[in-house]
Amino acid sequence: MELLSIGKFAKKVGVTTATLRRMQETGELLPEHITQGGTRYYSTDQLKLFTKKESKERIIVGYCRVSTPSQKDDLENQVQNLKTYMIARGYSFEIITDIGSGINYKKKGLKELIEKINNREVSKVVILYKDRLIRFGYELIEYFCELNGAEIEIIDHDEKSKEEELRDDLIQIITVFANRLYGQRSRKTKKLIDVVKNNVKNEKDSIETDS
């Protein structure tokens, strides 16, 4: 029986060595042999079983998001674009949709996606634009995918975020920090948020007038 080092085994199955160590800790996959010095080795039989299990169970997920319910038409367009793209490539997939700010990490769809990735059910996440997944912290989620043997595929790398969404995210960021700084019911909090909303509205009206 041939033994593979943890590095070679990780490369062949498409995960990181950190993932294999975590799987050992959870009992999900134990090395075939561990030397006295702590070097881990895996067998070719484990490689076959792992590869067979991964190819059978993993799925491709298309993730679509908009900020508000008023953008449902945009959400439907995203879904259609993703479906067209993935069907053309012969992907077997499912779609997860979300309605919520790009800085809201508690959205139902995003949590479902993270759970699937964490359970190693996902081989690939397909998104239309980078910020459709999350506005800030994309690299962290990308690394999380890497640790769990998944990848992120971006269809269009040109950022095409709508100004309205950026304004909504800005207001939410200021609201969160104002609540922490002054308290949710503080007059200062309400005043600061009102000032930001008014400035955003005035800027929007100015842009529309100029156009």
* pLDDT tens per residue, range 159-185: 555 565 666 667 666 776 776 777 766
| pTM for the predicted model, two decimal places | 0.59
pLDDT of residue 81: 92
pLDDT at 113 over 80: yes
Residue scoring higher pLDDT (208 or 72) = 72
| Most confident range, picked from 51-55, 148-152, 157-161 | 148-152
Q: How far apart are CA 105 and CA 119, in angstroms?
A: 18
pLDDT band of residue 151 (cuts 50, 70, 90) is very high
- 112, two tokens: 């479902």
Say if CB 155 and CB 89 are below 8 A apart.
Answer: no
Residue range(s) of every CATH 1.10.1660.10 domain in the chain:
3-56
Residue 171: the pLDDT is 66
Rounded to whole angstroms, the Cα distance separating 121 from 95 reads 14
Domain with CATH 3.40.50.1390 in the chain: 58-154
| Bridge partners of residue 97, in order along the sequence | 64
Judge: domain 163-210, CATH 1.10.287: yes
Q: If we measure between CA atoms, which residue out of 51, 59, 43, 30 comes closest to residue 119? A: 59
Residues 6+ apart with CB under 8 A from 58: 120, 121, 122, 123, 149, 150
Domain 3-56 CATH assignment equals 3.40.640.10? no
Pairing of strands 40-43, 33-34: antiparallel
Is the confidence at residue 204, as pLDDT, over 60?
no
CATH topology of domain 58-154: Rossmann fold (3.40.50)
Catalytic residue, candidates 67, 70, 92, 101: 67
> Which is higher by pLDDT, 174 or 68?
68
Q: Mean of the pLDDT values across residues 60-88?
A: 92
Chain CA centroid to CA 28, Å: 24
Taking a C-beta distance cutoff of 8 angstroms, is the pair 146, 16 a contact?
yes
For residues 84 and 112, is the Cβ–Cβ distance under 8 A?
A: no
Confidence of residue 33 (pLDDT cuts 50, 70, 90): very high
Domain with CATH 1.10.287 in the chain: 163-210
Check if 67 is active-site. Answer: yes
Taking only the tens place, the pLDDT of each residue in 124-141 is 999 998 888 988 888 999
The dihedrals phi and psi of 105, each to the nearest 5 degrees, come to -90, 5
